[in-house]
Amino acid sequence: MDDDGREFSPGVHYLVGGNTKVYGSSLPRLREEDLERTEYPSGVSPAWPFRYADIEPYYGQIEELFRVHGTTGEDPSEPWRSSPFPYPALEHEPYVAETIRRLCDQGLHPSSTAMGVDLRPGGACIRCSTCDGFPCRLGAKSDAQTCGIDPAVATGHVRVLTNAKVDRLVTEKDRVVAVAGERDGEPFRITGGAFVVSGGAANSAALLLGSASDDHPDGVANSTGLVGRNYMVHNNTHIAAVDPRRKNDVVFQKTVAVNDFYRDMGDGFPGGTIQLIGKVQGSMMKTHATKVPLPVLNRIAERSMEWLVMSEDLPSPHNRVTLNKNGQIQVSWRRTNYDRHELLLARTKKILRTAGYVGIAEQRFDIALNSHMCGTVVAGTDPATSVLDPWCRAHEVPNLFVVDSSFFPSSGAQNPALTIGAQALRVAAEVEWERVD
């Protein structure tokens, strides 16, 4: 439900592997300054409770685990790294390479996108046109099931329960003692010593709020009222740029990004990132341009190149996830820091027109297109201003961890998946689990 009580269908997927089954496999690191306090004209992006150097080794580990292809030395905003990319960057197809040349002629520095696909020697990836936004039928996309869950199950130490929904955390005083829910229509209950919630920014917050009890009347770990607050979702706009002189025959389009304006738009304040997305077909455009005939959209798609313009949103107490009286998830959301997005969007259009793209159509993300949502169970060092500690352990419930994008104090302006994975490895490695029980 939105702020006005209207229903909407969010871009959240419930299956083994979660949203990574349909994500675009773009796996960049956040930049050093993304974890520091940043002041914008319209607000503040707060610092994280740890620095880039603390998570950097785990970035290298998750890049290895998720088979990330990339290169260094091209991106003016890239952070330092202690290990090279596991695999070389994906090759640009000729149409993309020509566009890169036109961008370079404008003094820009296009850089290869860090991509999680299995293009190793003998790998399963065939560079098809249905990577971005679709499950991979070959297991070649670096999703959480292929790279994480399946190998874990293969060890014999992990069991996955499918068709199961956890409805609540069962607590006794300051500890979680069980999770309870339904599986195939039958109630189930699982006890344990430590519990890790990784449901995503909306669902993790909703689970904590929906687990209220006499000991936790406002929800688990929520005596401060911060659970669900500071919901963030990147300021994103899809662009279809049309050059009628050239037919776009690219198959795997998502290989380049422009980060020249990531740190500074020329006025001393950050802008964001401009990234290619997977090649869009006319049938995909039809979901947005519903009144345009499909043959027309097919002709446009033949000569278009699709980009994502992304800028940082800022935490705001108003932007939050709650449960209404019927137990439905309600999202209160107003755009933040949107002046920066407007500037970056205008700059992007000017760049593309200079590169020969005379027609530009845009799709601005709304409340349902909630890509990269984060921040609802924020981490910090002060229990009065945060829900989790720097290792994602709940301040008030010492055997509960929330390890997903919920913990983000700020969002930066890069795809969050690699950071979620790196923090998961950091939590697994640095927490003294034998003492949690």
Long-range contacts of 186-193 (CB under 8 A, 24+ apart): 188/161, 188/164, 193/399, 193/436, 193/437
- The mean predicted confidence, pLDDT, of the chain is 95
- Determine the pLDDT at residue 233: 96
Residue 437 belongs to a domain: no
Q: State pLDDT tens for residues 29-48.
A: 999 999 999 999 999 999 99
With 0.85 as the threshold, say if the pTM is over it.
Answer: yes
Greater confidence, 281 or 239?
239
Cα dihedral 327/328/329/330 (nearest 10): -110
Q: What's residue 289's pLDDT?
A: 80
For residue 178, what pLDDT is reported? 98
Q: What is the C-alpha separation between 409 and 417, in angstroms, rounded?
A: 15
Q: DSSP code of 307?
A: E
Instruction: Please check whether residue 30 lies inside any domain of the structure.
Output: yes
Is residue 107 domain-resident?
yes
Q: Is 6 part of any domain?
A: no
Q: What CATH number is given to the structural domain containing 114?
A: 3.50.50.60
Q: Is pLDDT above 90 for 380? A: yes
Burial class for 246, CB neighbours closer than 10 Å (0-12, 13-18, 19+): middle
Asked if residue 48 is part of any domain, the answer here is yes
Domain residues for the domain of 71 are: 18-431
Both tokens of residue 327?
A: 């137990």
With tokens 């009222």, the residue in question is 225
Q: How far apart are CA 80 and CA 32, in angstroms?
A: 8
CA angle 268, 271, 274 (to 5 degrees): 145
Q: 255-313, pLDDT tens digit by residue?
A: 999 999 999 999 999 999 999 999 988 788 877 788 888 888 888 889 999 999 999 99
pLDDT attached to residue 293: 87
Instruction: Give the whole-angstrom CA distance, residue 292 versus residue 363.
Output: 14
**Of 166, 152, 149, 183, the residue nearest 21 (C-alpha):** 149
Give the pLDDT score at 312: 97
The answer as to whether 5 is a domain residue is: no
**Alpha-carbon gap, residue 392 to 13, rounded angstroms:** 23
Residue 337 lies in a domain: yes
Query: Quick check: is 314 in a domain?
Result: yes
Number of domain units in the chain: 1
User: Band of the pLDDT at 79, cuts 50, 70, 90?
Assistant: very high
Q: Are 302 and 247 in contact (CB under 8 A)?
A: yes
